[in-house]
A and B are shown apart, each in its own frame.
Chain A
C-alpha cells in the first residue's frame, strides 16, 4: 500500500461486494418470486441481474430478496418493488434485459416502469 488513495479505492471496491449484508430490514426491497413456477420461467437470472445492478450502482438500502409463489404463475418471473411510503409495484414477465431499466428508472429516479407492470400486462 503505497498511498492512502490506494486504500480508499480498495475500500470502495470491497464495500460493493459486502453490500448484501447491509440494509436488509428497512429501506427499499426488490422481491423476486422464486417458487418452482418462477424458477421455471427464468427468475434466477433476473434475481442475479438485480443483485449485480444494485451492487454496481452501490444502491445502499436496496435489498434484493426472494419469495415464494404469489399466485399469478402465468406472469412469472414476477418482481415486486417496495419503496417505503410508496405503493407496491409488481412487475411481470421480467427478463434480465428489463432489469437495468427498472433499476435506473424506478430505484434510482423513482419512476416505476409502467409498461412492465403486471397491471399493464393484464390489459
Chain B
C-alpha cells in the first residue's frame, strides 16, 4: 500500500513540455531515496491547465505543483516525499493561501467547472483498468446489461437531452432510436475521434486520460442498437491517445469486458481502432465511414443516412468521443441529473479548449449556458498583457466569431447559432485587439482550401475563389464590389456543397462580415488594416523629431533599409523595408511608428 501518490500529467500538452523526463527523474530519485515501496508515481491524462505544464499533484496533501522542471525533482523528493515539507515555490500560486494550501477545486480555473466527460482525466492512470473500475468504471455497462432493455437505455439517453458534441448537436438519443429498429445481419457503432478543428483537443484528452470510458460507452451503444462491432476512427497524429486506447482495449478484452458473453449475459461486443491519415474531411461522418472501409475519404450524399445505410452499407451509429464520454455517467446518475444541468435545449456540460490570447490556455468543462465572460475572464484568467478582448472564435473553420459586445451571451447550441456561430467541437480561440478579423477569416479559408476533398465543385472551387478575394482585400487591392461578391459566394457555397465541410466553410467570413464589416471596409476604402496585421497595408516610419540618430535601428535592420548619419534623424526606405518590425522593437525613444 502506497502512502503517497504522485500524479504527473502525461497528456500531449505536458508531454511536449517534458513530463516524460520528469517521470523518469522522479522514479530514479524515489529509488535513490529508497521510497519505491512508499510512493507511487502515476502518469495521468490531462488536468486541463495546460498553460502551467508540466503539472504534478502530490497526494495525500493534494499539492498542485506547476511548471515543474527536471532540476526540481531532487528537492521534491527529499523535501516533500521524504520529509513532508511542501516545496512552496513550485505551488500553483492560486492554490497558496496564507501558510496553507487551498484545494484545487477552489481556484478560479476549476471553481466553476463541472467535470462529467473529463471526470477521470488527470485523476486516474489511464493505462490501469483497475483505477477506472475503482471510480465506478463499467458499472454503467453492468447496469444496462442486467437492469435495462435496449429500449430503456435509448429512452434514458433521450430523456437526458444529450446532443452530439462533435459539432452538429443532433440529439444522441434520437440518433440511437433511429438506428435500433433497422434490421440487418450486422450493425456498427463508430466513434468519431478524428478531431480536426485547429485549437480543439478535448477528444484527444478523453482518449489519453480516460480511454476505458469510451470503450464502456460504445459497448452501451452497441447494446442499445443491437450492434456487436465497433470502430474508433482516430487521427494518427494522436500517438499517445492511440497507444493508450489500444492498451485499454487489450485490457478490456483480456478481462472479458469486450468480446463474447460479457458479464455472463450473452451480450457480445468488440472494438477496433482505425487510424486516420490526417484529412479534415474525414471528421465528416460519411467521409469517415468511407475511410474506414478502406477508400479515399470522401463524403457521400445523404440520404440514405448512416442509421439506415452506414458503414459497409449497414445501420450505423456514429458519435463523437465527448458525446460517448457522457453516456456512462448518464446511465449511473440518471437522465434527470444530466438534464438538470445546462439550458432548456442544451443539457449537461461542454468541454472547451481555450486557446489564443488567454492566460489559462487549457481544457475546461462547464455547464451549458455559462457566459462567455465567465469562461474568458474568470476561468480563463483574462487576456494577458492588459490587452482588450476583441472576439472569440468558436467552432474552428466551421464556426464564427463572438464579438466583445456579445460577451454576456450564455454559451449553448441555440444561442451560438442565433448569432451566426456554432458550438463546433469546442475549440475557443480568444483574440485581442491586435487581431485583424479579415486576416483571421483568411487563415481559416486557407485551412478549408487545403482540406477540401475536391468531390463537389462548390467547395473545391468556391472556397478557392473566396480565399483569392480575401487575399485581394488584405493586400489592399479590393473594392466594395469584392465585399458584396464575397458575401454572395459564401451563401452559394453554403447552399450547394455536398457535406458539412463545404456547407460551413464560409462561416468565418460571414460571421466576420456581420460583426466586423467596418474592418473589411477599412481594408478596401481606406486601404488600412485597423489592427496593423496586414503587411501590405502598413508601413513603418521614423518621426524625425523623436529620432536621436543613435543608429540602433539601422544596425538591427536585416535588409539595410534604414539610413542616416549619426546624431541625425534616420529614414526608412519603404521600397526595401520588409515590415519585420525589428526597428520598432529596437528604438528606445519611441520614434518609429507603424501606420
Chain A interface (Cβ < 8 Å from any Cβ of B): 1-4, 7, 10-11, 13-18, 20-21, 24-25, 32, 34-36, 39, 44, 47-48, 50-52, 55-56, 63-68
Q: Are A7 and B142 in contact (CB under 8 A)?
A: yes
CB distance from A122 to the nearest CB of B (A): 24
**Inside 8 A of A13's CB, which chain B residues have their CB?**
130
- Would you call A2 and B83 a contact (CB within 8 A)? no
Set of chain A residues within 8 Å of B264, measured between Cβ atoms:
2-3
The distance in angstroms between the C-alpha atoms of A64 and B39, with both chains bound, is 13
Q: Chain A residues with Cβ under 8 A from B496's Cβ?
A: none
Q: Are A24 and B256 in contact (CB under 8 A)?
A: no
Q: A47 contacts B3, CB within 8 Å?
A: yes
Question: Known contacts A3-B263, A4-B142, A48-B3: does B134 contact A34 (CB below 8 Å)?
Answer: no
A39 and B82 contact, CB distance less than 8 A: yes
Residues of A within 8 Å of B62, CB to CB, are 24-25
| Chain B residues with CB below 8 A from A25, complex form | 62, 103
- Contacts A14-B134, A24-B62, A34-B84 known; A51 to B123 CB distance under 8 Å? no
Tell me the bound Cα distance from A64 to B60 in angstroms: 7
CA distance A7 to B479 in the complex (A): 69
Nearest A residue to B79 via CB reads: A68
Q: Which residues of A contact B488 (CB under 8 A)?
A: none
Residues in B neighbouring A63, C-beta threshold 8 A:
60
Least distance between A26 CB and chain B CB atoms (Å): 9
B83, B123, B124: the one contacting A34 at CB < 8 Å is B83
A7 and B133 in contact (CB under 8 A), knowing A1-B256, A2-B263, A47-B3? Answer: yes
**Contacts of B595 on A, CB cut-off 8 Å?**
none
Which residues in A have their C-beta under 8 angstroms from that of B123?
21
B20 within 8 A of A: no
Find chain B residues with CB under 8 A from A34 CB: 82-84
CA gap between A120 and B137 in the complex, in Å? 48
* Contact call A17/B130, Cβ cutoff below 8 A: yes
B-side contacts of A55, CB under 8 Å? 1
Please name 11 further chain A to chain B contacts, defined as beta carbons within 8 Å, in addition to the given A2-B256, A4-B263, A14-B133, sorted by A numbering. Answer: A11-B137, A13-B130, A17-B131, A17-B134, A18-B131, A20-B60, A34-B82, A51-B1, A64-B3, A64-B60, A65-B61
A24 & B84 in contact (Cβ 8 Å cutoff):
no
Decide: B263 and A24 in contact? CB cutoff 8 A: no
Among candidates A1, A14, A16, A50, residue contacting B257 with C-beta atoms closer than 8 Å: A1
Q: B residues within 8 Å of A by Cβ?
A: 1-5, 7, 37-38, 59-62, 82-85, 103, 123-124, 130-131, 133-139, 142, 146, 255-257, 261-264
**Which A-B residue pairs are the 5 nearest by beta carbons?**
A66-B84, A51-B3, A14-B134, A14-B130, A1-B256
A-B residue pair count with CB separations less than 8 angstroms: 96
Contacts of B103 in A (CB 8 A): 25
| Residue from B59, B85, B131, B139 in contact with A20 in the complex, judged by beta carbons closer than 8 Å | B59
Main secondary structure of the interface of A (DSSP, over half): helix
Chain B residues whose CB sits within 8 angstroms of the CB of A48 once the complex forms: 1, 3, 37-38
Instruction: Indicate if the CB atoms of A44 and B83 lie closer than 8 Å.
Output: no
- Cβ distance A30 to chain B, nearest Cβ, rounded Å: 10
Contact (Cβ within 8 A) B1 A7? no
Give the distance in Å from the alpha carbon of A64 to the alpha carbon of B261 in the complex.
Answer: 42
Nearest-CB residue, chain B, relative to A47: B3
**Least distance between A117 CB and chain B CB atoms (Å):** 21
What's the least CB distance linking B76 to chain A, in Å?
13
The answer to whether residues A68 and B85 also contact, given A7-B142, A24-B62 and a CB cut-off of 8 A, is yes
User: Nearest chain B CB to A65's CB is how many angstroms away?
Assistant: 5
- Bound Cα distance A55, B134 (Å): 14
Q: Would you give the shortest CB distance from A46 to chain B, in whole angstroms?
A: 10
Residues of A within 8 A of B138 (CB): 1, 7
Residues of the B chain whose Cβ atoms lie less than 8 Å from the Cβ of A50: 3
Please name 30 pairs of A and B residues whose Cβ atoms are closer than 8 Å in the assembled complex, sorted by A. Answer: A1-B263, A2-B263, A2-B264, A4-B142, A7-B138, A7-B263, A10-B130, A11-B134, A11-B136, A15-B134, A17-B130, A18-B134, A18-B135, A20-B2, A20-B3, A20-B4, A21-B59, A21-B123, A24-B61, A24-B62, A25-B103, A34-B83, A36-B83, A39-B82, A44-B38, A48-B37, A63-B60, A65-B60, A67-B84, A68-B85
* Measured CA separation A17–B103 after assembly (Å): 22
Pair B5/A20 contact, Cβ less than 8 Å: yes
A48–B37 alpha-carbon span in the complex (Å): 9
Decide: B1 and A17 in contact? CB cutoff 8 A: yes
A61 to chain B, nearest CB (A): 11
Q: How far is the CA of A27 from the CA of B133 in the complex (A)?
A: 25
Q: How far is the CB of B135 from chain A (nearest CB, A)?
A: 8
With both beta carbons as reference points, the residue of chain B lying nearest to A13 in the complex is identified as B130
Complex formed: what's the CA distance from A30 to B257 in Å?
39
- Which chain B positions have C-beta within 8 A of A32? 84
Q: Which of A13, A18, A47, A48 has the most CB of B within 10 A?
A: A18
